[in-house]
A and B are shown apart, each in its own frame.
Chain A
Amino acid sequence: DAGITQSPRYKITETGRQVTLMCHQTWSHSYMFWYRQDLGHGLRLIYYSAAADITDKGEVPDGYVVSRSKTENFPLTLESATRSQTSVYFCASSEQGATNEKLFFGSGTQLSVL
């Protein structure tokens, strides 16, 4: 019962470097999401994906890139990290057709950009 796993758990990087955060789910859920959590802002949606090869922007997509070549994986890439991207990143998934839209979250990746 692996569920949804994120890696790494913690990451420190420098401004300008490329960073990829991984997300893997074992439920074959169609939908996957990336949120960032910042003090005073709660969770804000970065990108989401309805299925393999289908992605869409959320509320704060600038500076991020996603891909979904396989249903189970949804990596998030910071192309050139900035200090403002220091945050806790959560991946989530949900079933297609689930009208009550329950989200299942990973444990998060704490990213620090120096």
Chain B
Amino acid sequence: GEDVEQSLFLSVREGDSSVINCTYTDSSSTYLYWYKQEPGAGLQLLTYIFSNMDMKQDQRLTVLLNKKDKHLSLRIADTQTGDSAIYFCAEKRAGRRALTFGSGTRLQVQP
């Protein structure tokens, strides 16, 4: 996960918006993903965006992609305590089957 970077920790209050950021280095990336990992569980796909898109919205989730700066963000509106988890950014590089993951951002939601 060296080529995909994320900040390690984010703390927000319940009801606020959370923004988790990710930077990647490979301009050939075709899809970018956000996965969520709850304690003691595997990763679950939250959302993904194709590289020719700038934004994707899915209920409380908004993904923004700045391809020029190789920057991806996930905004969670009206953050709830159930959103507390580790969030992983991942990229699919052209010609590769496996995804490359970042180190994960731990989101803590305070009541």
Majority secondary structure, A binding face: strand
**What per-residue 1/0 map shows which CB atoms of A93-110 lie under 8 Å from chain B?**
010000111111111100
The answer to whether the Cβ of A8 comes within 8 Å of any Cβ in the partner chain is no
Whether A108 touches B42, Cβ cut-off 8 Å, given contacts A42-B1, A42-B103, A48-B97, is yes
Q: Interface range on chain A: under 10, 10 to 19, 20 to 34, or 35 or more?
A: 20 to 34
Whether the Cβ atoms of B98 and A41 lie closer than 8 Å is no
Q: Which residues of A contact B100 (CB under 8 A)?
A: 45
The answer to whether the Cβ of A50 comes within 8 Å of any Cβ in the partner chain is yes
Q: Of the 9-residue stretches B10-18, B43-51, B58-66, B67-75, which lies at the interface with chain A?
A: B43-51
Whether the Cβ atoms of A105 and B43 lie closer than 8 Å is yes
**Cross-chain pair count, CB within 8 angstroms:** 57
Question: Which of A35, A42, A58, A107 has most B Cβ within 10 Å?
Answer: A42
Whether the Cβ atoms of B103 and A40 lie closer than 8 Å is yes
Whether A103 touches B43, Cβ cut-off 8 Å, given contacts A41-B1, A42-B1, A43-B88, is yes
Q: Interface range on chain B: under 10, 10 to 19, 20 to 34, or 35 or more?
A: 20 to 34
Whether A42 touches B45, Cβ cut-off 8 Å, given contacts A58-B98, A100-B50, is no
Cα–Cα, bound, A6→B65 (Å): 34
Residues on A lying within 8 angstroms of B by beta carbon are: 31, 33, 35, 40-45, 48, 50, 58, 90, 92, 94, 99-108
Given A99-B30, A107-B42, A108-B42, 18 other A-B contacts at CB below 8 A?
Answer: A33-B98, A41-B103, A42-B1, A42-B4, A42-B101, A43-B1, A45-B100, A90-B43, A92-B42, A92-B43, A99-B31, A100-B48, A102-B45, A103-B99, A105-B35, A105-B44, A106-B42, A107-B40
26 contacts between A and B (CB under 8 A): A31-B97, A41-B103, A42-B1, A42-B88, A42-B101, A42-B104, A43-B1, A43-B43, A44-B1, A44-B101, A45-B98, A45-B100, A48-B97, A48-B98, A90-B43, A100-B48, A101-B31, A101-B99, A102-B45, A103-B35, A103-B43, A103-B45, A105-B35, A105-B43, A107-B41, A108-B40
